[in-house]
């Protein structure tokens, strides 16, 4: 199949990662293990054919390694977001210079609109925007207007029971949707996809996978979901994510891919 992604941007976790935002009750991350797992994540991206731009840690931002939330990338434009979590809003100043290396056209989400990249799922030239505690209608409407200006479309999806849209679903770039939780009951939405792979509640963390060229990158240790993906014909690359899971972080959160 055609290569879909060539590049990724990541940021090394800071020691202050233990002070990040989380809704989980899994304990604090071990910083040394976090760094080991982040290195393995980079190696997994490289195995999937991506060149990885590694930004340095910034102790000012405990959640700064979750770079996906501060930008939305399309072929024709990059949109710098305005995170819904107030403690993360200054992170955008840290990413713009890097984005400018790769994108000529850059747009911005402005207050009172809030939007985080974890709520954005790109399906072809259409962007689904999750309305969550981190992304509001104003932010979504701003993004839809920006997308329209550059030849894309967008629509909103109500998020419940999870942090971000992509905490409950992932698109496999071929008409297939991985889905779990409350989204299982949204038949009108699910009917838009050619194939649905259901992820069980006990493995719901594994719904946050990434289709990267000929591979699917998934968190390590979720055998039921791995089996379903393999039976669906996907080549799997696994990487350990236990320390990021403690801080509400998923695979998609850790990189910007384009």
The string of pLDDT tens digits covering residues 129-163 is: 999 999 999 999 999 999 999 999 999 999 999 99
pLDDT at 214: 96
Torsion angle, alpha carbons of 88, 106, 139, 112, to 10: 70
Q: Could you tell me the CA-to-CA distances from 176 to 3, 167, 179, 223, 257 in Å, in that order?
A: 17, 16, 10, 19, 19
- CATH number of residue 221's parent domain: 3.75.10.10
pLDDT at 48: 98
**Average pLDDT rounded to a whole number, residues 72-100:** 93
What is d(CA 128, CA 106) in angstroms, rounded to the nearest whole number?
20
Count of domains observed in the chain: 1
2, pLDDT greater than 60: no
Using the structure block, give the residue that is written with the tokens 């509400």.
248
Residue 1: inside a domain, yes or no?
no
104, pLDDT greater than 90: yes
Q: Cβ-count burial of 233 within 10 angstroms (0-12 exposed, 13-18 middle, 19+ buried)?
A: exposed
User: Catalytic: 126?
Assistant: no
Domain span at residue 23? Answer: 7-257
The whole model's pTM is what? Answer: 0.95
Given a contact cutoff of 8 angstroms between Cβ atoms, the answer to whether 71 and 79 are in contact is yes
Task: Return the bridge partners of 215, or none.
Answer: 212, 235
Residue 57: inside a domain, yes or no?
yes
For the chain, how many helices (H) and strands (E)? Answer: 6, 15
Residue 2: inside a domain, yes or no?
no
User: Catalytic: 185?
Assistant: no
Residue 218 tokens read as: 């998934």
26, pLDDT greater than 90: no
Using the structure block, give the residue that is written with the tokens 């910007």.
256
Residue 246: inside a domain, yes or no?
yes
pLDDT at 20: 65
Which of the following is catalytic: 38, 48, 164, 209? 164
1, pLDDT greater than 80: no
């Amino acid at each position: 199949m055609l290569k879909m992604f060539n590049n990724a941007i990541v940021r090394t976790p800071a020691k202050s990662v233990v002070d990040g935002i989380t809704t989980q009750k899994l304990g604090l991350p071990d910083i040394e293990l976090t760094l080991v797992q982040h290195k393995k994540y980079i190696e997994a991206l490289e195995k999937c054919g991506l060149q990885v731009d590694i930004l340095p840690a910034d102790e000012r931002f405990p959640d700064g390694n979750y770079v996906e939330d501060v930008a939305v990338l399309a072929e024709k434009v990059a949109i710098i977001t305005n995170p819904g979590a107030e403690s993360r809003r200054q992170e955008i100043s840290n990413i713009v210079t890097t984005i400018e290396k790769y994108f000529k056209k850059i747009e911005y989400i402005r207050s009172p609109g809030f939007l985080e990249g974890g709520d954005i799922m790109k399906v072809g030239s259409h962007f689904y925007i999750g309305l969550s505690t981190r992304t509001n209608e104003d932010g979504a409407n701003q993004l839809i207007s920006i997308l329209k200006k550059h030849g894309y479309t967008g629509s909103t999806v109500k998020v419940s029971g999870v942090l971000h849209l992509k905490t409950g679903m992932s698109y496999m770039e071929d008409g297939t949707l991985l889905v779990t939780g409350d989204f299982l009951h949204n038949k009108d939405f699910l009917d838009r996809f050619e194939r649905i792979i259901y992820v069980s509640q006990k493995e719901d963390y594994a719904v946050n996978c990434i289709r990267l060229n000929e591979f699917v990158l998934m968190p390590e240790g979720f055998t039921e979901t791995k089996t379903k993906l393999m039976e669906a014909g996907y080549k799997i690359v696994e990487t350990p994510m236990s320390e990021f899971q403690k801080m509400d972080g998923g695979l998609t959160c850790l990189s910007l891919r384009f």
